Structure 1
Amino acid sequence: MYESNLGGAIVAYIIGFLGVQNVFLIGLSTAISKVFKFEKGLSATFKNSVVLINSGNFGLPVSQLVFQDNSLGLSIQIVVMIFQNLLTYTYGIFNSVTAQSKGFQALKIFFKNPVIYALLLGVFFRATSIKIPEFIWTPIENTSNAFLAFALITLGAQSAYIKFHQLSTPLVLTLIGTLVVAPSIAFVSIFILGLEGTVAQALFIASSFPTSRNSSLLTLEYGNHPEYAAQAVLLTTIFSMLTVTTVIYLSNILF
């Protein structure tokens, strides 16, 4: 957040699209959870697996490949990634916490998470143009660079114990919701907002990415079906080879 450069009318369109897209996904995943009567922990993990996407270590390389001669496309993906980070450490965490606790206890656990305060500090320092001293910034940056490695190692440790006897109902619904329904909702949202060109292409492609590894890490932290969460990350990533390719092809035809 501290290093980001956001501004301009185009950002307003992107945020508008992301707002519409995620409201639909949150509403849809909540409705599905109630229809299939998922218990609270499973419901929280299911909703996170559909709403939270891998816009960082998956989304950025894809955008760099697709928009290698178009800086606007990559810039849009960076905005999407920042939005997803905010969504993960607000909606995602609160969703996970309230599955195990209620009322004041849930709020207490939620506000114990240091990422909330890191985000607020990043926004504050950015808005006030306060320069962080080099001796403080260097270790922060080094720690940040190590996060991806630790996250993937953790996910790998979870995946090592995955046993696929059959595709469970929640897992099938996650695959459909993340890889099919989400891009479909994105197409409708783009049409409603009247977006076109590179902006429409970039947002349509960004909507097709697999489940975020962060959703799996949250289940480990709060004990909400971690094996199912790891399965969701693994399978959506595998099947996204087909769906993301299809969406990229369609984006060139439709927009």
Structure 2
Amino acid sequence: MSYFWYILLNNVVPLTVMIAIGVVLYRAFKLDIKTLSKLNFYLFSPAIIFKMLYESSISLVILGQTLLFFFLFFALMFILAEIVIRLRRYQGGMIPAMRNTVIFYNSANYGVPLNQLVFVGDPFTLSIQIIIMMMQSLLPNTYGIYSVNASKRNDMRKTLRTIMTLPVIYIIPLAFLMKGLDIPVPGPIYAPINYISNAFIATALITLGVQLGSMKWELNFSDVMLANVLRLLIGPAVGFGIVMAMGIEGVMAQALVLSCAVPSSLSSVLIAVEYDNEPEFTSQVVFSSTVFSIFTVTSVIYFISFMT
């Protein structure tokens, strides 16, 4: 039990403190969430994705295993979300809203610092989390935006134009291309990339706090709790089942299961707000899953410590 409290105090609480600072800053200064979200989407997130992919030593074997794990996990969570949607008979915008809060999770501004806290800066586990983050950066900005607009029958050409303006779509192949061809980044350009990427974790967690501070603190209990169960409890259980089925062991298995345990993604809220698609429900899920993750993530970390 002492180890459980050690994990809570040293791994999870530091993230919560940063998020709480964002809440306080919003309450004090009414920071603009849209400005912060644009900084994350168009500046901080592309910078850290490029830097991590460019500097990482990701072998093809690890890349292949992690991508296979991710697509299996994504497919199974998608199916589970669809079952819930049909059983609950959701209509209109609630369909993509529920789906997005389950399949999109905070692999970047929550998952990366969590990974580095739990595994004490291990570059191997970081490379695994970077691959997950890469996919979780790409999918909300493509499929997530498409699904919301499809449910509202919006102009798909306009939607595709919006998707094509997002830097992450170009940053990922550019980073792999430059790394694969061993193309150096000029010092005067790489220095700003380093400065910006170093600010990513703090800025992203504070942004999440600002969003949580700006929303209504009341829950649509049944639907919100259902999304929380799928994301925080069923998610890591499905991840554990996949690593067992794939025969993955050791620290890689731990890192993969941990990557499934994080709360719903801020990108779900940004999409919901931007396209007026159940923003209250989505914000409530992100808020509550972030709060509940203090306990569920701690439990998952405690559990994976016994995986060998």
1:20 Cα deviation after fit: 0.6
Matched residue, 2:306: 253
Specify which of 165, 177, 191 is matched with residue 244 of structure 2: 191
Q: Secondary structure of 2:139's partner?
A: helix
Contact 1:179 1:236 in 2 (8 A): yes
Whether 1:207 and 2:207 are equivalent positions in the alignment is: no
Query: Quick one: percent identity of the two aligned structures?
Result: 34
> What corresponds to 2:137 in structure 1?
85
Paired residue for 1:31?
A: 83
- Establish whether residue 172 from structure 1 lines up as the match of residue 230 from structure 2: no
- 1:130 is displaced (CA, Å) by 3.4
Inter-CA distance 120–79: structure 2 relative to 1 (3 Å threshold): closer
CA separation of 1:109 and 1:140: change in aligned 2, threshold 3 A:
same
Q: 2:16: which partner in 1? A: none
Q: How many residues align?
A: 255
Match of 2:100 in 1: 48
Give the AA of the match of 2:170.
Y
Change (3 A) 1:65 1:117: closer
* TM-score between both structures, scaled by the size of structure 1: 0.84
In structure 2, C-alpha distance between the alignment counterparts of 1:113 and 1:209, rounded to whole Å: 24
Deviations 1:166-208, CA, capped at 9 Å, x for gaps: 4333311210111011111111111111111111111111111
Q: Provide the C-alpha distance between the structure 2 equivalents of 1:111 and 1:36, rounded to a whole number of angstroms.
A: 34
**CA distance in structure 1 between the partners assigned to 2:189 and 2:207 by the alignment:** 27
Please tell me the residue identity of whatever aligns with 1:162: M
Q: What is the distance in 2 between the residues matched to 1:8 and 1:201?
A: 20
SS in 2 for 1:57: coil
CA 37–107 in structure 1, closer or farther in 2 if over 3 Å, else same: farther
Select the residue among 131, 141, 162 that pairs with 2:215.
162
2:81–2:99 contact (8 Å) kept in structure 1: yes
2:126: which partner in 1? 74
Matching residue within 70, 73, 80 for 1:21: 73
Counterpart of 2:285 (choices 225, 228, 232) is: 232
Is 2:241 the partner of 1:182? no
8 Å contact from structure 2 (residues 232, 261) kept in 1: yes
Larger mean CA deviation between 34-43 and 105-114 belongs to: 105-114
Aligned residues of 2:57 and 2:127 also touching (Cα < 8 A):
no
CA contact (8 A) 2:239 2:260 kept: yes
User: How big is the shift at 1:112?
Assistant: 4.2
- SS where residue 93 of structure 2 aligns? helix
Q: 8 Å contact 1:159–1:230 — kept in the other structure?
A: yes
Cα distance, 1:132 vs structure 2: 3.8
- Partners of 1:155 and 1:85 lie apart in 2 by 16
Q: Distance in 2 between matches of 1:248 and 1:242?
A: 10
Q: The residue matched to 2:236 in structure 1 has which SS? A: helix
1:130 aligned partner: 183
Q: Which runs of 5 or more residues in structure 2 are unaligned?
A: 1-52
Stretches of structure 1 lacking an aligned partner (at least 5 in a row): none
Match of residue 6, structure 1, among 58, 66, 74: 58
Q: What is the alpha-carbon distance in structure 1 between the residues aligned to residue 207 and residue 262 of structure 2? A: 20
Cα offset, 1:69, TM superposition = 7.5
1:238 partner letter: V
8 A contact 1:98–1:106 mirrored in 2: no
Q: Tell me what 1:216 maps to.
A: 269
Q: Do structure 1's residue 61 and structure 2's residue 140 form an aligned pair?
A: no
Residue 243 of structure 1 is matched in structure 2 by 296
